[in-house]
Structure 1
Amino acid sequence: MARQTALPPSLPPRLISREAAAAYVSVSPGKFDQMVEDGRMPRPRILDRRKAWDVRALDSAVDQLPVDGESFVDDTWSDIDAA
């Protein structure tokens, strides 16, 4: 997906291609596809017949990735009251 020439240089696009999304999160397109499939990265938005990734959703997904040296705590059920 080519950058729109109508956008000023200070305004980055909100939706980006698969290849750009992979580069944005520093992985190969193949690895990005795996991460979308396993839920670590968001699914694309549909623009007519094209797929594009929302950079805000990518940012959120990256924020959820584990941090090296920190233990992972699954708090999926933390908001459920125990019986």
Structure 2
Amino acid sequence: MSRQRDNLPYPPRGMDRIDAARYVGVGISKFDEMVADRRMPKPKTVDKRLIWDRVELDMFFTDLPARDEGGNRIDAILARAGNASAR
């Protein structure tokens, strides 16, 4: 049975390993490494298939540190807002 993809302008909610790696912008080996060290989520299981949830990928991606920041972007914004209100 061949897998057909639709041509809708949005990514699917569930993705296989190759599509999940592509979605977050890394190669498959790097994606596997990131799943193993918990920088990316573990997949869900549907029968014997492993499927990554796009929403979880988005959440984990948001938590990755930015190049110039030590934490995630939201924490940095909140920290700056807290420092500004303390002045």
Which of the five TM-score ranges fits, normalised by the shorter chain?
Answer: 0.7 to 0.9
Percent identity over the alignment is: 39
Which residue in the other structure is 2:49 paired with?
50
Which residue in the other structure is 1:77 paired with?
none
Q: CA RMSD in A?
A: 2.4
What is the letter of the counterpart of residue 52 of structure 1?
A: I
Indicate yes or no: 2:45 matched with 1:13. Answer: no
List runs of 5+ in structure 1 lacking aligned partners: 74-83
SS in 2 for 1:21: helix
Supply the distance in 2 between the matched residues of 1:3 and 1:24 (Cα, whole angstroms): 18
Q: Give the aligned length.
A: 72
Relative to structure 1, the CA distance from residue 23 to residue 45 in structure 2 (aligned partners, 3 Å threshold; closer, same or farther) is same
Which residue in the other structure is 2:27 paired with?
28
Contact 2:64 2:71 in 1 (8 A): no
SS in 2 for 1:63: helix
Contact 1:3 1:13 in 2 (8 A): no
Following superposition, the deviation at residue 12 of structure 1 comes to 3.7
Report the TM-score when normalising by structure 1: 0.74
What is the letter of the counterpart of residue 14 of structure 1?
A: R
List runs of 5+ in structure 2 lacking aligned partners: 73-87
Supply the distance in 2 between the matched residues of 1:11 and 1:28 (Cα, whole angstroms): 21
